[in-house]
Structures are given as structure tokens and as C-alpha cells.
Amino acid sequence: MTGGHYIGDDCAMPTPEIKICGIREPGSLDAAIRARAAFAGFVFFPRSPRNVTTAEAAALSARAQGRIARVGLFVDADDAMLGEAVAAARLDVLQLHGKETPERAAQLRARFGIPVWKALSVASETDVARADSYAGAVDRVLFDAKTPAGTLPGGMGLSFDWKLVANWKGPVAWGLAGGLTPDNVAQALDLTAAPLVDTSSGVESAPGVKDDDLIAAFCRAVQAR
């Protein structure tokens, strides 16, 4: 899955792909599948309220098998942790959400043989321009909101100025994250034409607690465009 893109001036943009991140419960996974999300995200970061153990991820992965693609989110993880998670959860994608360099991303892509996504924190045009350096090293960049120093690197419900990535056409596939909710995702897509949207806290009733109705509403808002 590589995301939607423009094929020609006369063609409408395909429906953006949807990733529901931070899934911890079987019911939330089922809700994402029912709503026709393309990706389920499992967070492997102990400081996050959405963290899952490898055993929990393995059980969710077995339930997801053949129904939705499985993305593992990591923050500056070492090879041992990555290898354990990839094997246990049979991950389809690695999402890097720390300070991983293009060289590190390319190394992991080669080692594990699955697509690698890199989340980039955005607050300015300079942050967006960093995506160019990941061309050839990753399969997708995710433009996410920059969070305050000392806080979690994502999943805090913060957004950035979407005009910074409006109709972005860089050298690598991309997606939009950061503060997306059922109420604002259509506006975000109208402005950016993002081929993929990624939500986590935007479909929760409390930190780490997914809401099935919000998951359904988010996906409907995307698919109705």
C-alpha cells in the first residue's frame, strides 16, 4: 500500500488511506477493520499510554492477520527490541518516531525487509524540507505536529499549520498526522490532499482508550470526500 496520488489533471484523488494508531484492545482493532481503515498502529514505547507489550501485540496481530496492515511505532529503539517486536507481531511496517537518521532508517529497512515510515515533527518550512533527506531511505514520511520538549513525541492531540504541506509533492510518499479528529480531518484533507491520514488521540475517550464510535466517524469523514 503506497497511498493515493494524482494520476492526471482530469482524475479525482483516490480516497486517502487511513491509519488508526495506538490500538491496544481487540475491540478497537475490530472497529478499525469494520470502518475500513488500511493500517492499525501498535505503539512500542513504554512512556506512552498506548504502549503494548510484545505478547499483547502478538495477540492483536493474529487477530489482524489478512484483515488490516500492522504498523509498529518505535522511538529510537535498538535492533534487539525491533527484532523481537517484528517477529512477535509479524509487523508489515516499521514507523520510526524518534531521532532516527536517514542512514538508520535505511539500515533497518534493509535488515528487516519491510517498509519503513519516518515521522517528522513539523512547525516550519524547514521541518518539512527535512523529508527530502529521507528519499530512498524510507517508504513514507509522516508529517506530525512538533510537541513540547520533554513530552511524548506524538499522540498528544496537537496539530500544525497544514498549509505547510498543502499539496506537498516531494520525493517520497507521505501522510498527515497530528491532532486529526472526525471533526477536522475533512478540512485537513481539503487543504493538503494528503494520501494518508493517521489518528490516535483524535479517536479516544481518554488517553490510550479508543472509542469505537469515534473510529467509525473518523473513517466516514475521510471516505465521504
- By the 10 Å C-beta count (0-12 exposed, 13-18 middle, 19+ buried), 126 is classed as exposed
Residue of 92, 139, 144, 198 marked active site: 144
CB 24 within 8 A of CB 207: no
Are the beta carbons of 59 and 81 closer than 8 angstroms? no
Contacts of 89 (CB under 8 A, 6+ apart): 42, 54, 57, 58, 60, 61, 70, 72
Q: What is d(CA 58, CA 180) in angstroms, rounded to the nearest whole number?
A: 27
* Spatial CA neighbour of 180 closest among 202, 162, 164: 202
Kindly name the residue from 9, 10, 11, 21 that is annotated as catalytic. 21
Q: Determine the Cα angle at 38 with ends 141 and 36, to 5°.
A: 145
Task: Examine the residue annotation and report whether 183 is marked as an active-site residue of this protein.
Answer: no
The yes-or-no answer on residue 11 being catalytic is: no
Q: Does residue 69 sit in helix, strand or coil? A: strand
Q: How many residues does the chain have?
A: 225
The number of CA neighbours under 13 Å toward the Cβ of 97 is 25
Calpha distance 8→19 (Å, rounded): 25
User: Which residues does the annotation mark as catalytic?
Assistant: 21, 144
